[in-house]
Amino acid sequence: MESGQHLIMTADQVMAFSIIGLMMAVFIWDRFRYDVVAVLTLLLACAVGIVSPKDAFKGFSDDIVIIVASALLVSAGVARSGIMELIIQRVWPDVKSVRLQLCFLVIVVTVLSAFVKNIGALAIMLPIAFQFARRSNVSPSVFLMPMSFGALLGGLMTQIGTSPNVVVSAMREHLVGKSFTMFDFTPVGATVAAVGVLYLVFFSWLVPARARKSLTTDSSFSNRDYIAEARVESGSTVIGKQISDLVKPAAGDAMVLQVIRNKNLISPLPDFLLAEGDTIVLEGTHGGLDSVINTAKLDIAKGRDVQTGDKLQQVEVVEAVVTDNSPLIGINAKRLNLFDRYDVNLLALSRPQERVRQRLGDIVFRLGDVIVLQGRDDVIPNLLQELKCLPLAKRNIMFGSLRHGLVPLTILFVAIAATALQIVPVALAFFAAAVAMIVFRVIPARDAYQALDGQILVMLAALIPVSETLEKTGCTKIIGHWLSVFASSLPPSGALAVILVAAMLVTPFLNNAATVMVMAPIASSFADSLNFKPEAFLMAVAIGAGCDFLTPIGHQCNMLVMGPGGYHFSDYPRLGAPLSIIIALVSVPMLMWVWPLT
């Protein structure tokens, strides 16, 4: 009778399956914003009673949301520091093949993920991916999803690589009295990861190139060329190097117009050697100039540092357009003397449809010029009003922004080390790292929220209580019973494959550690009923729970790249479904060889 009772679903179970099925269909349809779909799903679940009002908003305090938000901020801090551009120029300066770049990124993030938290490994490599994308003039989406999947694959290789491996080790000790060890996962995990990396490198074209939607608002300005001046100071990395070395980080997005040495103008030949005290006149896009200035450690403000007398004050960099009644028209920057009068620096100027060849201070302002100003946040608004300049939509302009070199990278590695050594939980470590990025002014406090992807975070927080309904309503027990009935008629390899695939299908809707908690007892009892040893089945659960390649919502790594990559929900199964099949085909025979069933 117990078997029959399992087959009869309650109203709540029917409702839970129906709501989640409807949600998945709308996601795949891809006609509505993901956060709106998630919020409406949550409201519907509350309306029918499978999510209680007191649990409706628990997702907003869930560790996963904190980890993703913090990782976004930490990764933005590392990217802003310019340290990754410097590393790429020194380690791999001339590689422009997208395939080789993808291979490098996926392999590195996969290997790192075996020994550090996979989201930490991904956060380290994201800025490099953006640098490669800019250098090769491709969308970051070419790299980000394969990197996320690589991070998941890397976690399969060691006990500490991913949460399911840790949990399944504890479950084995509870069930059979002996835990898995650090490298028990390596033979199967490394084989699966190697095959997976090959697939990701050669079949990444399955995902169409996407553009991040939130970036389209300033796309009309993204290729604007600016004139800027910078000084080679004692700590610059280009002293004694050629001009060609200086502009290499910009990947063609910046060039040197003039070099001023001892008040003499010098033609900027590519092999000209730079020296301390040189003033360099640069032309390029804001991204290109930013890479050159910060990789070479040039002083764009030429020693004129804007002072903040109050801890609450921030130095900001803004773009503004000179309007038709501006007092700037007809005078140059030297005459205006912005720094002495207002404690504001003119960092750069752009003139639409005209190439300017003069030094920045000698340029006479005209109607329509775009100027980049650096000053205190309490001074800039009033100054723009006085100068009759119209501020542009706020963008991530970082000319002359204070960079801290190794500070953001150190913060990230300390957070990763703290989690690897189990000193503090992952959520707390990454949250502390995000706060440190602001405390050390790697990211100005006013810009911190721009690094967070609100749409992704709201979607994730709204879906956490919805996904938990599968366990609370007993749907997982129904799934376990169906698995037992179906797999009992299969050969050993088929039964093992069923357990692995079931874990893959369940993990998008449960935390991957929770998937192991639900599936491991089912797998163990199933193995016992067939008179098999449980190890291969427990390993199958760990692999399946660690491999969510079908949705963006099952693992924080997939969620982390969704916004920056501009991915659609349906993009994940396009690349992930074949990978899931490949992993099942590779894992099952490897498991049976490494962990014999009898």
- Cα 136 off chain centre by: 19
Instruction: Report the distance separating Cα 598 and Cα 326, nearest Å.
Output: 85
What pLDDT is stored for residue 588 in this prediction? Answer: 94
What pLDDT is stored for residue 217 in this prediction? Answer: 35
Instruction: Report the distance separating Cα 385 and Cα 471, nearest Å.
Output: 58
- Please give the residue range of the domain that contains residue 426: 68-213+406-451
Average pLDDT over residues 67-72: 77
Residue bearing the bigger pLDDT, 143 or 405: 143
48 three-state secondary structure: helix
Residues 122, 201, single domain; the answer is: yes
DSSP bridge pairs for 317: 374
Residue 3 has pLDDT above 50, yes or no: no
Q: What is the tens place of the pLDDT at every residue in 391-423?
A: 875 554 555 444 455 788 788 788 878 877 778
What pLDDT is stored for residue 145 in this prediction? Answer: 94
What pLDDT is stored for residue 543 in this prediction? Answer: 94
What pLDDT is stored for residue 539 in this prediction? Answer: 92
Q: What is the tens place of the pLDDT at every residue in 304-315?
A: 665 555 545 567
| Residue 564 falls inside a structural domain | no
Instruction: Report the distance separating Cα 196 and Cα 192, nearest Å.
Output: 6
Residues 345, 239, single domain; the answer is: no
Q: How confident is the model at residue 23 (pLDDT cuts 50, 70, 90)?
A: confident
| Residue 376 falls inside a structural domain | yes
Residues 279, 387, single domain; the answer is: no
What pLDDT is stored for residue 179 in this prediction? Answer: 75
Residue bearing the bigger pLDDT, 547 or 222: 547
Q: How confident is the model at residue 86 (pLDDT cuts 50, 70, 90)?
A: low
| Residue 587 falls inside a structural domain | no
Q: How confident is the model at residue 163 (pLDDT cuts 50, 70, 90)?
A: confident
Residue 447 has pLDDT above 80, yes or no: no
Q: What is the tens place of the pLDDT at every residue in 25-66?
A: 887 776 788 788 889 999 999 999 888 998 888 888 877 788
Please tell me the least confidently modeled range out of 215-224, 294-303, 335-344. Answer: 215-224
| Residue 531 falls inside a structural domain | no
Residues 325, 433, single domain; the answer is: no
Work out how many domains the chain is built from and give that number. Answer: 3
Q: What is the tens place of the pLDDT at every residue in 350-382?
A: 887 677 777 888 888 988 888 888 888 778 888
What pLDDT is stored for residue 192 in this prediction? Answer: 95
Average pLDDT over residues 13-32: 81
Residues 194, 74, single domain; the answer is: yes
Residue 17 has pLDDT above 50, yes or no: yes
Q: What is the tens place of the pLDDT at every residue in 115-142?
A: 777 777 787 788 788 878 877 888 888 9
Residue bearing the bigger pLDDT, 89 or 441: 441
Q: What is the tens place of the pLDDT at every residue in 168-181?
A: 877 777 777 777 87
Residues 78, 203, single domain; the answer is: yes
Q: What is the tens place of the pLDDT at every residue in 482-506?
A: 777 777 777 888 888 988 998 888 7
Please choose, from the candidates 368, 371, 380, 378, the residue with its C-alpha nearest in 3D space to the C-alpha of residue 399.
371
| Residue 350 falls inside a structural domain | yes
Residues 264, 350, single domain; the answer is: no
Q: What is the value of pTM for the model shown?
A: 0.63
Q: What is the tens place of the pLDDT at every residue in 178-193?
A: 778 778 899 999 999 9
Instruction: Please spell the DSSP secondary structure of 181-239, one letter per residue.
Output: -TTTTHHHHHHHHHHHHHHHHHHGGGSPP---GGGGGGGGGTT--EEEEEE--TT-TTT
Residues 177, 199, single domain; the answer is: yes
Residue 433 has pLDDT above 50, yes or no: yes
| Residue 32 falls inside a structural domain | no
Give per-residue burial for 61-87: e unless 16+ CB within 10 Å, then b: ebbbbbbbbbbbbbbbbbbbbbbbbbe
Residues 204, 269, single domain; the answer is: no
CA triplet 241, 246, 247: central angle to 5 degrees? 150
Q: What is the tens place of the pLDDT at every residue in 202-225?
A: 998 888 887 654 443 344 444 568
Residues 128, 170, single domain; the answer is: yes
CATH number at residue 343: 3.30.70.1450
Residues 330, 230, single domain; the answer is: no
Instruction: Report the distance separating Cα 385 and Cα 5, nearest Å.
Output: 74
Please choose, from the candidates 397, 399, 408, the residue with its C-alpha nearest in 3D space to the C-alpha of residue 298.
399
What pLDDT is stored for residue 144 in this prediction? Answer: 92
What pLDDT is stored for residue 577 in this prediction? Answer: 92
| Residue 57 falls inside a structural domain | no
Residues 250, 359, single domain; the answer is: no
| Residue 588 falls inside a structural domain | no
